[in-house]
């Protein structure tokens, strides 16, 4: 295989392209602590603010900050079970971020996040097996979960939206509903690898909508989708799907006007801290298009 030229390698990794993940700024722990404090004052539990903060941090491409967030989330509880649960919940959030941010960002951030976890937590995570592998016996339930989640979020416009998406490309709604909503956004059946092992944490319907809002707000440029998922969060409580899962403390308040404003503000805090005023790394700006050196 031919090698890349030095000028090409240098241009790929040029500073203006911001090719790497973002280091954790000195202020980020204070930002997370303030979010946790404000969450407590508004009776928003750890699952909601942790999932929202994880989603925003994943979008901002900062695994070092993810580790700061992890350490804050397990603060005051040093037992391994809590450490494993928190790491698993955060990486489940990171996996779902694929549907909003794309595969490369999740690969890079979750890889670095895992490498920075304590060795005993890494060892415990290695025992987990895949839950989303498709087989002849689970394809139909997976498709059913996807359609159910799609309807829950977009009702009464779910069919109309599918038709509109198909005008853009006939496979667009197929991929979104079957692959994203079926295989990724909806939770597969919980499994454990040993009789004494806790099942993998499910994110659930309410937290999935919170993750969607956080990712899309942090990403920027996708206001219509932010609106859709703000409504999707409300519909979880309107159609009763929220009642079919563990209660998310503060979830119903986050679905209100006041709560949704608070949620967006917390995401903006994280974006401001990690972006240092320059926004996300999706498309860094520069005054003029740089030229490659041959």
Predicted confidence at residue 192, as pLDDT, reads 53
The pLDDT score that the predictor gives to residue 77 is 67
Q: What is the pLDDT of residues 51-94, one digit of tens each?
A: 999 999 999 999 999 999 999 999 976 688 999 999 999 999 99
State the Cα–Cα distance between residues 152 and 235, nearest whole angstrom. Answer: 7
- What's the chain's length in residues? 294
Distances (CA, A) of 217 to 36, 179, 193, 278: 19, 23, 36, 15
In this predicted model, what pLDDT tens digit does every residue of 12-31 receive, in sequence order?
A: 999 888 899 999 999 999 99
pLDDT in tens, 95-119: 999 999 999 999 999 999 999 999 9
Instruction: For the beta carbon of residue 156, count every other beta carbon within 10 angstroms.
Output: 8
Q: What is the DSSP string of 65-110?
A: HHHHHHHHHTTT---HHHHHHHHHHHHHHHHHTHHHH-HHHHHHHH
Residue 196: predicted pLDDT: 55
63, 103 contact by CB (below 8 A): no
Q: At 47, list the tokens.
A: 């699952």
* The token pair that represents 182 in the structure block: 């079926």
Q: What is the average pLDDT across 189-212?
A: 80
- Sign of the CA dihedral with 248 first, then 133, 215, and 60 last: positive
pLDDT value of residue 197: 63
* Distance in angstroms (rounded) separating the CA atoms of residues 180 and 37: 33
Judge whether residue 195 has pLDDT over 70. Answer: no
Whole-model pTM: value is: 0.94
Mean pLDDT of the chain: 93
Q: How far is CA 56 from CA 219, 226, 263, in A?
A: 8, 13, 11
What's the rounded Cα separation, in Å, for the pair 48 and 62?
Answer: 20
pLDDT at 270 over 80: yes
Quote the percentage of the chain above a pLDDT of 70. 95
CA-wise closest residue to 63 among 214, 225, 274: 274
pLDDT band at 291 (very low <50, low <70, confident <90, very high): confident
Q: What is the rounded distance in angstroms from the CA atom of residue 194 to the CA atom of residue 27?
A: 40
Structure letter (DSSP) for residue 280: -
Q: Per residue in 89-99, pLDDT tens?
A: 999 999 999 99
DSSP states along 203-218: -HHHHHHHHHHHHHHH
- Collapsed DSSP state (helix, strand, coil) of residue 83: helix
204-231 residue pLDDT tens:
999 999 999 999 999 999 999 999 999 9
State both tokens at 19: 């090719």
Widest Cα–Cα separation across the chain: 61
Per-residue pLDDT reduced to its tens digit, 118-140: 999 999 999 999 999 999 999 99
């Amino acid at each position: 295989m031919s090698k890349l030229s030095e000028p090409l390698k240098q241009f790929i990794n040029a500073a203006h392209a911001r090719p790497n993940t973002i280091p954790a700024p000195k202020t980020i722990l204070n930002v997370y602590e303030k979010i946790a404090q404000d969450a407590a004052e508004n009776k928003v539990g750890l699952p909601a603010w942790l999932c929202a903060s994880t989603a925003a941090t994943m979008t901002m491409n900062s695994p070092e900050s993810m580790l700061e967030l992890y350490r804050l989330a397990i603060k005051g509880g040093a037992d391994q079970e809590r450490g494993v649960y928190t790491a698993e919940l955060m990486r489940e959030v990171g996996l779902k971020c694929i549907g909003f941010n794309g595969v490369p960002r999740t690969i890079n951030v979750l890889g670095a996040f895992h490498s920075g976890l304590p060795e005993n937590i890494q060892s415990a995570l290695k025992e987990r097996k895949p839950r989303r592998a498709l087989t002849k016996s689970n394809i139909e339930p997976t498709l059913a979960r996807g359609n159910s989640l799609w309807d829950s979020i977009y009702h009464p416009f779910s069919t109309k939206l599918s038709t509109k998406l198909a005008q853009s490309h006939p496979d667009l709604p197929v991929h979104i509903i079957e692959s994203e909503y079926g295989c990724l956004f909806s939770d597969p059946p919980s499994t454990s690898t040993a009789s004494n092992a806790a099942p993998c944490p499910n994110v659930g319907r309410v937290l999935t909508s919170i993750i969607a809002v956080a990712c899309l707000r942090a990403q920027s440029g996708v206001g219509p989708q932010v609106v859709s998922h703000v409504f999707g969060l409300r519909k979880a409580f309107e159609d009763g799907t929220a009642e079919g899962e563990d209660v998310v403390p503060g979830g119903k308040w986050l679905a209100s006007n006041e709560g949704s404003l608070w949620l967006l503000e917390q995401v903006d805090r994280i974006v401001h801290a990690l972006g240092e005023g320059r926004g996300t790394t999706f498309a860094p700006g520069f005054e003029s298009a740089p030229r490659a050196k041959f």
